[in-house]
């Protein structure tokens, strides 16, 4: 037989063997699927490099990924973050259907690498990269992976929404700036995203869908169910991705663990509580500061969420924790509603607090300091006193003046209900202190306070002082107009006033308890 004939014969034999192995591979794949041995499914719309690695490398993918993972960790230890990030991309390409690869690499960028940088813009880039890794890539190849939805919701809830990272306010600002063009000045614009009337709205709708991978109709449904939410803030997006995780779990109920579903639901409930505490952006037209306040419209929905979470919980210890958290939420809801002059709502929730938890004292800081059966007014005053820690004349005077100052600031920025709420609270604190020390006439003479009107006038004079202004000129002008006072005699050279004078005290006061800044 000639050499040419041998070559042709060998080629035909190779082709026959290759065809036979292809047919055999189909039977093997079918058996592996039936026996539950196939962990990786074929990827849809995968880029060429990823398609090649998942097919050509076969069983060596895991080994190569392990080597790259070790190398990436070494690079990170040496602060070579960008090289480590590139290796992370390769690792996810080698194991695109392995959930833990995506979870770890995204968490590593958002948490470990980000805090290595001192400048907030650098940190934000790594946090955003961690979010994008899960949202844009991980969920592309694993659209029904409940754990990836849970982790994505956690990034919005904890990394951006909570205050454990000292750059958290910067993250919130950056995210709000990205979302403001899409959701409008109040963060609730769904109509233009769902049915864009013009080219600009169509571009925004496409951006929302293609870049942020979000469904406007589903977001509106979530807002109806859990809101109203401000979608410029991270909590709304945490709830959105948590709800997407629950939807994904419905499609694969047999592959989702009960514990995973519980954590996804907690993402939603905890994010609702955070949105209640600081889910409202406070616009300061004078100082251009970014401040957050409570979203009081969420009180009924958050209450329902706690009751639902309690009903779903199966562990007795966790049930007790939920009840304690619910009680603390009701206490905050009553106080925040009261200070915003929503007294009727505060009274209704205060009644529920007493009915649902009758065996508990209202204030926990010192159970012997306050009676159990407080009126709503007494509770609000006691809450202030529990925050300041004592009732000395000097401290109470500072608290009252701080509350009065805050009331006029709220007047300046157009929050009339908060103005009235703070003014009422200041008067209640004043009356309570005077009543407490009035048992002896000598006490009134020794540690009594001047008349409330005198304290009010003192604070107002300080606010309207043009020599040492504590508020900008525009703010003082609003207050004068609201009080029916004549305009300032002349506009001082520094008419804008100090641009940062009240911003620190005011901003810090809003997100926690308003009396903190007053006490200081």
* Residue 480: predicted pLDDT: 92
Q: What is the arithmetic mean of pLDDT over 173-191?
A: 88
Each residue's pLDDT tens digit, 285-297: 676 666 788 898 9
Q: Among positive and negative, which fits the CA dihedral 314, 318, 324, 328?
A: negative
Looking at residue 119, the DSSP 8-state letter turns out to be: S
* Residue 493: predicted pLDDT: 45
Each residue's pLDDT tens digit, 262-287: 888 889 999 999 999 989 887 766 76
* Residue 26: predicted pLDDT: 73
Q: Is 78 a residue whose pLDDT tops 80?
A: no
- The domain ranges of the chain are 47-96, 109-278, 346-519
Each residue's pLDDT tens digit, 395-438: 678 788 888 988 998 899 888 888 998 898 888 888 888 887 77
Listed residue (330, 318, 338) closest to 358, CA to CA: 330
Which two tokens mark 486? 């004549």
363: confidence class by pLDDT, cuts 50, 70, 90: low
* Of residues 21 and 48, more confidently modeled: 21
* Residue 289: predicted pLDDT: 66
Q: Is 360 a residue whose pLDDT tops 60?
A: no
- Report the distance separating Cα 401 and Cα 504, nearest Å: 17
How is 376-425 classified by DSSP, letter by letter? HHHHHHHHHHHHH----HHHHHHHHHHHHHHHHHHHHTT-HHHHHHHHHH
């Amino acid at each position: 037989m000639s050499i040419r004939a041998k070559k042709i014969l060998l080629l035909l034999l190779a082709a026959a063997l290759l065809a036979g192995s292809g047919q055999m591979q189909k039977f093997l794949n079918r058996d592996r699927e039936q026996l539950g041995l196939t962990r990786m499914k074929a990827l849809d719309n995968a880029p060429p490099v990823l398609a090649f690695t998942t097919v050509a490398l076969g069983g060596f993918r895991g080994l190569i990924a392990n080597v790259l993972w070790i190398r990436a960790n070494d690079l990170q230890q040496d602060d070579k973050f960008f090289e480590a990030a590139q290796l992370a991309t390769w690792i996810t390409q080698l194991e695109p259907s392995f959930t833990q690869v995506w979870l770890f690499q995204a968490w590593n960028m958002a948490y470990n690498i980000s805090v290595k940088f001192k400048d907030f813009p650098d940190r934000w880039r790594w946090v955003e990269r961690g979010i994008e890794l899960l949202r844009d890539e991980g969920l592309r190849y694993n659209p029904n992976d409940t754990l990836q939805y849970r982790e994505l919701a956690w990034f919005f809830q904890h990394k951006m929404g909570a205050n454990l990272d000292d750059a958290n306010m910067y993250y919130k600002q950056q995210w709000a700036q990205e979302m403001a063009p899409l959701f409008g000045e109040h963060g609730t614009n769904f109509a233009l995203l769902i049915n864009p009337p013009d080219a600009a709205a169509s571009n925004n709708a496409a951006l929302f869908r293609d870049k942020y991978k979000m469904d406007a109709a589903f977001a509106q449904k979530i807002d109806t169910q859990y809101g109203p939410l401000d979608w410029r803030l991270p909590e709304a997006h945490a709830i959105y991705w948590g709800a997407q995780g629950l939807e994904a779990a419905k499609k694969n109920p047999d592959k989702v663990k009960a514990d995973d579903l519980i954590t996804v639901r907690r993402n939603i409930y905890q994010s609702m509580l955070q949105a209640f505490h600081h889910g409202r952006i406070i616009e300061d037209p004078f100082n251009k500061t970014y401040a957050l306040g409570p979203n009081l419209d969420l009180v009924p929905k958050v209450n329902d969420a706690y009751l639902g979470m309690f009903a779903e919980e199966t562990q007795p210890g966790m049930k007790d924790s939920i009840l304690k958290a619910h009680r603390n939420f009701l206490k905050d809801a009553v106080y925040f509603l009261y200070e915003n002059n929503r007294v009727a709502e505060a009274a209704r929730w205060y009644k529920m607090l007493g009915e649902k938890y009758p065996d508990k004292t209202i204030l926990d800081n010192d159970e012997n300091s306050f009676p159990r059966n407080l009126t709503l007014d007494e509770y609000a005053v006691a809450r202030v006193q529990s925050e300041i820690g004592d009732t000395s004349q000097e401290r109470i005077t500072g608290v009252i003046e701080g509350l009065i100052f805050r009331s006029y600031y709220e007047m300046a920025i157009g929050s009339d209900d908060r103005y009235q709420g703070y003014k009422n609270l200041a008067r209640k604190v004043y009356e309570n202190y005077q009543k407490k020390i009035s048992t002896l006439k000598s006490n009134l003479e020794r540690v009594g306070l001047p008349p409330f009107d005198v304290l009010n006038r003192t604070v107002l004079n300080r606010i309207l002082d043009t020599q040492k202004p504590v508020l900008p000129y525009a703010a003082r002008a609003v207050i004068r107009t609201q009080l029916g006072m004549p305009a300032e005699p002349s506009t001082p050279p520094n008419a804008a006033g100090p641009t940062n004078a009240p911003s620190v005290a005011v901003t810090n006061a809003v997100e926690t308890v308003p009396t903190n800044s007053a006490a200081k």
